Amino acid sequence: MKPSHFESLTSLLVGAAWALAIVGAGVGIYLFHSFGLFSVVVLAFLTALPGLLCVVIIEIARLQIKKSVHIARQTELLESIEALLRDRFVSHH
């Protein structure tokens, strides 16, 4: 199945957000490596945090879009089942 333009765009954005998180952590490590291990870990996490938040937000958006597509498909199937049952019930009475 061919991915839609939205899925391709969100995949690209997730990759860019991960890159931002990795670069942020790298910059945090590079700039603060002289302050000690604990400080480097904390500051690397803090500098990676914007990228990680972007990953979470984009993934939530992707999940919500997939959820709405599945709900629409289920609704369509349920309506077709209802129509079949209605036709069968009317034809027998």
pTM (2 d.p.): 0.76
Q: For the segment 28-38, what is each residue's pLDDT rounded down to a tens digit?
A: 999 988 989 99
Q: Write the CA distances from 2 to 6, 8, 35, 46, 73, integer angstroms.
A: 12, 10, 49, 37, 17
- Percentage of residues of the chain with pLDDT beyond 90: 69
Please provide the DSSP assignment of 12-70 as one string.
HHHHHHHHHHHHHHHHHHHHHGGG-HHHHHHHHHHHHHHHHHHHHHHHHHHHHHHHHHH
Backbone angles phi, psi at 36, to 5 degrees: 110, 160
pLDDT tops 70 at residue 1: no
Lowest mean pLDDT segment, chosen from 2-11, 13-22, 25-34, 59-68: 2-11
What pLDDT does 6 receive?
83
